[in-house]
Structure 1
Amino acid sequence: MGRSFASSGRRSLLRGAAASFGAGILPGALRPALGASPLKPVAEEDALVAFGHTGPITDGGWTTAHDLGVQAVRKAFPKLKTVFVESIPYSADATRIFRQFVAEGAQLVISTSNYGDFIKDVADRAPDVGFLECDGHTVTGNLGWYYITHWYASYIIGIAAGLMTKTNQLGYVGTFPIPSVYASANATLLGAQSVNPACTMRAIAINAWFDPQAATQAASALVDSGCDFLCGITDEPAYLRVAEARGIKAAMWNLGMRQFGPKAYVSSVTLDFSRFYVEQVRARLNGSWRGAPHFLTLSDGVDRDAWGETVPPDIAARADAMRTRILAGYNPFRGPIRDNTGAIRVPEGTVLNDDAIYQWDWGVQGMTGLG
């Protein structure tokens, strides 16, 4: 697993694990550990919770969202101690940092990105310490993972995009060709195509999560090619600034960013880890914590931001009608779904569950630039 991190970085996933994609069957590594006993309780005043971040907490995006969750933990449990390290590399240095957390006495270690074997090796050697890995894939007695089902919010925003575009060309500022990016881009395009079948999407991968210059260049190229609605999955608002300057629309990721382009801003996939982090720390303190997989769901960890000031009310209402359906249990990711070669990947009658979408590694029909 660790081999994928040097090239892709944060939120990278195992490729090729989606042979059971249509059925949505979890690979064994994703299933919860069976028969594991909860870790022993810890008094709040004796507790240390450590957070390992993939970026700086001031990035205004992914890591800032996680840091807001850390702040919620501090508020809920004022007697415990928290420590964190920013910008942990995807290398042996990550193993060293996680080992240091254990050496300092941490009872719970939370990595806000996927560190694969770098964190698993440490967890295997510290069975009395709980480990949580964001966008992870392995579950043992003391190692679990968590992730947000961001694809539903992206689908909802995609409906607005499909109704607002005039050129029927959406632009996507991507990072790496990995499943979390495919899920984001595909969901947005499928949402747009559900109301405007003529929509296509051009994607550019900038090979970074935080590179404002590269994101600006990609966004400008997409607009020059005819895209009049930008979206993406970067950790800062560069492409929103481009949209504002060029008089088009944009949807963002991680947090609400309307202040960087109020006329262009449509919405954002917003993340909130506060409740989840507080629940996990509480479980670790009271002795009920064990390694397990967790999806944070729509309206309970991830959602769309309030609509931008230039989004017509009727368009917002149509998009929100789908949000209401999803909250009631409807899943819009249902076949037939073709890939960008025209081949049917999801047959009619098949619905992609979260486990399957979590492993998406191909672009849907109408997508170019992500493979």
Structure 2
Amino acid sequence: MNVTGPRGRLLASRRAMLGLAGMAAGSSLLPGRPARAGTPRGPITQKDALVAFGHTGPITDGGWSMVHNRGVQAVRQAFPGIRTVYVESVPYSADATRIFRQFVAEGANMVFATSEYGDFIKDVSDRAPDVAFMECDGNSLTPNLGWYYVSHWYASYILGIAAALLSKTGRIGFLGAFPIPSVYASANATLLGARSVNPAITLQGITINAWFDPQAATQAATALVDNGCDFLCGIMDEPAYLRVAVARGVWAAMWNTGMLQFGPESYVSSVVLDFNAFYVAQVRALLEGTWQPSAAFLTLGHGVDRDAWGPGVPEAIARQADDMRARMLAGYNPFRGPIYDNHGRLRVPAGVTLDDSQIYHCDWAVAGVSGLG
């Protein structure tokens, strides 16, 4: 199956930020916090199982969809008798509903949407109660629909520490697709990490209305460097702004996967994602008849982490950033108040720590971030 279409995210903001209650960093919901019990599903043999994936972009994008497709390959390797199908570049329109319905019509026992499709997938799952559905970056928990995401803000915080130590201008440039919670979470975490080292450092963001647009990313990165940013980071599915960093002699940290090969002289590290173990665990539960819908965060060291440090990063800087990583892996959560937004409003009082769910639903920028709202 092959369906093409533009990549984008649903632009509606997530639900308002949840109540302020602390939870330790790195708390993992794998294999997931179950929703109310769904329709009992018995064990399925591999030869009778069909697992379908709907990808938001092409699997050759070098980023998000490529990483998810690695998960498809991991499922095939773990369960060689299973059947899998996938559709690339599923559009954010009624066509998505038709694609998910087609998966069901073809006999899929489990359907993964590798990005947020909201009502486009929920309408289908509501009408197919015997099929297991999981939506990446979603919000719905029903008897047969769950969601999963990566708590990438911890890795971004670590890279922010490195940014503050490497930057000479005290200005970080950030590229995002849209002003949505996942972008806010990444930018906020990067700056909070940087300000733990240099309280005066700032972050200027630019959104380009696409996750994969090398030309627009190049133009935005060039504008950021022209404005004095000497460290670039963001959430893009390709390495365009790393190439700008090389051409302009500044630093860059990437997203989705390691991209050292595209600019080793400017490469700092990357937020790297790995859905392989999660997909294998979900499919195993399906085959064993134990699957239940869940809300799952893949946490630092378990689905998301930083890449190896680039060759130009001084050892002392890498060590200082990794000291925080070690603390996080031991349970420390740096997202604690007081935290103000970029309009001066106190958002997180002193003594309060944000948990993953609260960060995940954040739709505001912290003090020192500009250009994102």
Query: Where on the TM-score scale, by shorter chain, does this alignment land: which range?
Result: over 0.9
The structure 2 residue matched to 1:327, chosen from 320, 325, 329, is 329
How far does the alpha carbon of each residue in 1:299-337 deviate from its partner, in whole angstroms, 9 at most, with x for none? 110000000000000000000000000000000000000
Paired residue type of 2:282:
Q
Aligned-residue offset at 1:198: 1.2
Q: Which amino acid aligns with 1:10?
A: R
Equivalent position amino acid for 1:313 in 2 = E
Query: 2:293 maps to which residue?
Result: 291
Is 1:201 matched with 2:203?
Answer: yes
RMSD: 1.8
Q: CA deviation at 1:192?
A: 0.4
Alignment of 1:113 onto 2:119:
no
Matched, 1:180 2:182: yes
| Distance of 2:110 and 2:38 partners within structure 1 | 17
Unaligned runs of 5+ in 1: 1-5
| 8 A Cα contact 1:12 1:180, kept in partner | no
Structure 1 contact 39–130 (Cα < 8 Å) conserved: no
Helix, strand or coil at the partner of 2:140: coil
Cα distance in 2 for partners of 1:91, 1:11 equals 10
* Correspondence for 1:281: 283
- How many residues are aligned here? 361
CA displacement at 1:23 relative to structure 2: 2.8
Q: 1:156: how far off?
A: 0.4
Change over 3 Å in CA distance of 1:132–1:15 after alignment to 2: closer
SS in 2 for 1:162: helix
Corresponding residue number in structure 2 for 1:248 = 250
- DSSP-derived class of the 2:233 partner: strand
The TM-score normalised by the length of structure 2 is 0.94
In the TM superposition, residue 21 of structure 1 has moved relative to its aligned partner by 4.3
SS at match of 1:293: strand
- Match of 1:269, SS? strand
Distance (Å, rounded) in 2 between the aligned partners of 1:21 and 1:189: 23
Question: Does the alignment pair 1:15 with 2:17?
Answer: no
Query: Could you tell me which residue of structure 2 aligns to residue 230 of structure 1?
Result: 232
Q: Deviations over 1:21-56 (max 9, x none)?
A: 42369xxxx984224354222111111100000000
Distance 2:245 2:137 in 1: 30
Report the equivalent of 1:3: none
Q: Deviation at 1:174?
A: 1.0
SS at match of 1:195: coil
Letter of the structure 1 residue corresponding to residue 102 of structure 2 = Q
Q: Which region of structure 1 is more displaced relative to structure 2, 9-18 or 143-152? A: 9-18
Given that residues 11 and 135 in structure 1 are in contact (C-alpha distance below 8 angstroms), is that contact kept between their aligned partners in structure 2?
no
Deviations 1:172-199 (A, max 9, x none): 0111000000000000010000011111
The alpha-carbon deviation at position 353 of structure 1 amounts to 0.2
Q: Is the 8 A contact 1:8 1:176 kept in 2?
A: no
The alpha carbon displacement at 1:268 in A equals 0.2
Give the C-alpha shift of residue 344 in structure 1. 1.1
Q: Percent identity?
A: 68
Match of 1:132 in 2: 134
Asked if 1 retains the 8 angstrom alpha-carbon contact of 2:116 and 2:135, the reply is yes
Is the contact made by 2:7 and 2:56 (CA closer than 8 Å) also made in structure 1?
no
Q: Provide the C-alpha distance between the structure 1 equivalents of 2:125 and 2:226, rounded to a whole number of angstroms.
A: 48
Which structure 2 residues correspond to residues 94-105 of structure 1 after superposition, within 5 A? 94-105=96-107
1:44 aligns with 2:22: no
Match of 1:318 among 317, 320, 332: 320
Matched AA of 2:9: R
Gap change, CA 1:172 and 1:16, over 3 Å in 2: same
The one-letter amino acid of 1:203's match is: G
Question: Structure 2 unaligned runs (5+)?
Answer: 24-31
The one-letter amino acid paired with 1:282 is R
Q: What is the Cα deviation at residue 166 of structure 1?
A: 0.2
CA contact (8 A) 1:171 1:219 kept: yes
Partner of residue 213 from structure 1, selected from 211, 215, 223: 215
- Structure 2 counterpart of 1:144: 146
Equivalent in the alignment of 1:155:
157
